Amino acid sequence: MGLFSFTQEIAMDLGTANTIIITNGKIVVDEPSVVALDRRTEKMIAVGEKAKLMHEKTHENIRTIRPLRDGVIADFYACEQMMRGLIKQVNTRNHLFSPSLRMVIGVPSGSTEVELRAVRDSAEHAGGRDVYLIFEPMAAAIGIGIDVEAPEGNMIVDIGGGSTEIAVISLGGIVTNKSIRIAGDDLTDDIQEYMRHQHNIKIGERTAEEIKINVGTVYKRPENLTMDVRGRNLVTGLPKTVTVTSEETEEALREPAYQIVDAVHNVLERTPPELAADISDRGIVLTGGGSLIQGLEELIEEKTGINTMTAEDPLTAVAIGTGKYIEYLADDDKKSKNK
Ligand code: ADP
Ligand code: MG
């Protein structure tokens, strides 16, 4: 970037659970997708981790909001405020000039025109001058170093907080895809639900997520782990501690896990045979935080007969790919200027 060029470039993975911003190839913001607003003035009070800590502990004048649901913007105003707040964190040193802002944002491949419009509008309202969108599975593939331009089929399964995106990529485009509204946060919900049914105990979302991460599995674990959790006894209303086992989580998580497997199956069925053959040679790659649930690789492998592996940094793959895409756009600019 030259001395007098005030174009700033920001790549954003706007996720249901986490938002990551990359500038100059580096992660500069990685925060939960939460914003806290003043109920009366609608002004932003906090964003990201700070806002998440306020969640469920607010008084009547503050409300905390997760602006995205199931991978798409559910609250337009809150989303814009959140983006603005997060972009500000990048721009602290640059207060003297307000540079023209070029943004690339990852969006679900199943987005409707209206949903794409909403992301673009939010980004523009938050200060973006040039706004580009990239489909998340494509960004994930670029992020983990797959040569997406090659005439070869690659399957990416990106499991986020609110949605799972499955796509087959070849020659720089998405050939077949499917997006379902079942992902990591649904696993958490199902653990909460299971505890209520099976143990008559109400546990918080945070506790349910801890169970999922510490002992949760969607496939038989070699050893049956246990964890003691506290909640409220639904019969007496008093605090109660129960022990939950991984075997139990396998039962609790069976339905959402199979919905993900079925969706993978469905995409494979619709994939042209030559590309399907590539995928069975090269394997299926999992990305997104939701892919970290223990046993998912084994389950998909067993049900499809195709080798399945989780990316090295599943939580940042989409963001890194979005960052590489913005560099590619900048190189393209230079080339066209030099012509
Ligand atoms: P999004 O792109 O929707 O923001 P992420 O890719 O950031 O989502 O993934 C968030 C999801 O990953 C959450 O549901 C979270 O509970 C889940 N997650 C994160 N770490 C783990 C883990 N170690 N095991 C299981 N699930 C995990
Ligand atoms: Mg994501």
Chain segment 203-229, per-residue pLDDT in tens: 998 899 999 999 999 999 888 999 999
C-alpha 288 to ligand 1 mean position (Å): 6
C-alpha 312 to ligand 1 mean position (Å): 14
Mean pLDDT of 170-198: 97
Determine the angle formed by the axes of helices 184-199 and 205-214, rounding to 10 degrees: 100
What CA–CA distances, in Å, run from 175 to 179, 297, 324?
14, 23, 21
End-to-end CA distance of the chain, in Å? 19
On the question of pLDDT at 274 being above 90, the answer is: yes
On the question of pLDDT at 339 being above 90, the answer is: no
pLDDT tens by residue, 114-139? 999 999 999 999 889 999 999 999 99
Q: What is the pLDDT of residue 218?
A: 98
| Number of the ligand 1 atom closest to the C-alpha atom of 209 | 16
Q: What is the pLDDT of residue 131?
A: 96
pLDDT tens by residue, 65-84? 999 999 999 999 999 999 99
Nearest ligand for residue 162 CA = 1
On the question of pLDDT at 292 being above 90, the answer is: yes
C-alpha 289 to ligand 1 mean position (Å): 3
Mean pLDDT of 269-290: 98
74 Cβ below 6 A of ligand 1: no
| Nearest residue to 286 via CA among 187, 138, 159, 188 | 159
**E strand or H helix at 170:** strand 164-170
- 142 contacts 287 by C-beta, under 8 angstroms: no
Q: Show Cβ contacts of residue 60 under 8 Å, excluding neighbours closer than 6 positions.
A: 39
Mean pLDDT of 151-159: 98
| Number of the ligand 1 atom closest to the C-alpha atom of 314 | 6
Confidence band of 55 (pLDDT split at 50, 70, 90): confident
Mean pLDDT of 243-253: 98
Q: Work out the mean pLDDT of the chain and round it to a whole number.
A: 93
Q: What is the pLDDT of residue 73?
A: 94
161 Cβ below 6 A of ligand 1: yes
3-class secondary structure, 71: coil
Ligand 1 pocket test: pick from 210, 293, 294, 320 the residue with the most ligand atoms within 8 Å of its Cβ: 293
pLDDT tens by residue, 87-117? 999 876 555 556 788 999 999 998 899 999 9
Confidence band of 314 (pLDDT split at 50, 70, 90): very high
- 150 contacts 168 by C-beta, under 8 angstroms: no
Ligand 1 pocket test: pick from 292, 297, 320 the residue with the most ligand atoms within 8 Å of its Cβ: 292
Confidence band of 331 (pLDDT split at 50, 70, 90): confident
- 252 contacts 193 by C-beta, under 8 angstroms: yes
Q: What is the pLDDT of residue 94?
A: 54
32 Cβ below 6 A of ligand 1: no
164 Cβ below 6 A of ligand 1: no
Alpha helices in the chain (DSSP H): 49-54, 76-90, 113-125, 136-143, 184-199, 205-214, 246-252, 254-269, 273-282, 296-304, 317-338
| Number of the ligand 1 atom closest to the C-alpha atom of 18 | 4
What are the structure tokens assigned to 141, written together?
């593939």
The neighbour count for residue 331, using CB atoms within 10 Å, is 10
On the question of pLDDT at 1 being above 70, the answer is: no
What are the structure tokens assigned to 295, written together?
């046993």
What are the structure tokens assigned to 243, written together?
């022990």
| Number of the ligand 1 atom closest to the C-alpha atom of 13 | 2
Q: What is the pLDDT of residue 303?
A: 97
Per the listing, tokens 């944002």 go with: 105
Confidence band of 7 (pLDDT split at 50, 70, 90): confident
What's the pTM?
A: 0.93
The closest residue, in CA terms, to atom 18 on ligand 1 is: 289
Q: What percent of the chain has pLDDT over 70?
A: 95
C-alpha 291 to ligand 1 mean position (Å): 7
213 Cβ below 6 A of ligand 1: yes
Q: What is the pLDDT of residue 91?
A: 73
C-alpha 20 to ligand 1 mean position (Å): 13
212 Cβ below 6 A of ligand 1: yes
How many whole angstroms separate alpha carbon 146 and alpha carbon 212?
30
Nearest ligand for residue 140 CA = 2
Q: Show Cβ contacts of residue 52 under 8 Å, excluding neighbours closer than 6 positions.
A: 32, 34, 64
* 62-65: strand order across its sheet: 44-47, 35-38, 62-65
Q: What is the pLDDT of residue 2?
A: 45
| Number of the ligand 1 atom closest to the C-alpha atom of 162 | 3
Mean pLDDT of 256-267: 98
| Number of the ligand 1 atom closest to the C-alpha atom of 68 | 3
| Number of the ligand 1 atom closest to the C-alpha atom of 19 | 4
66 Cβ below 6 A of ligand 1: no
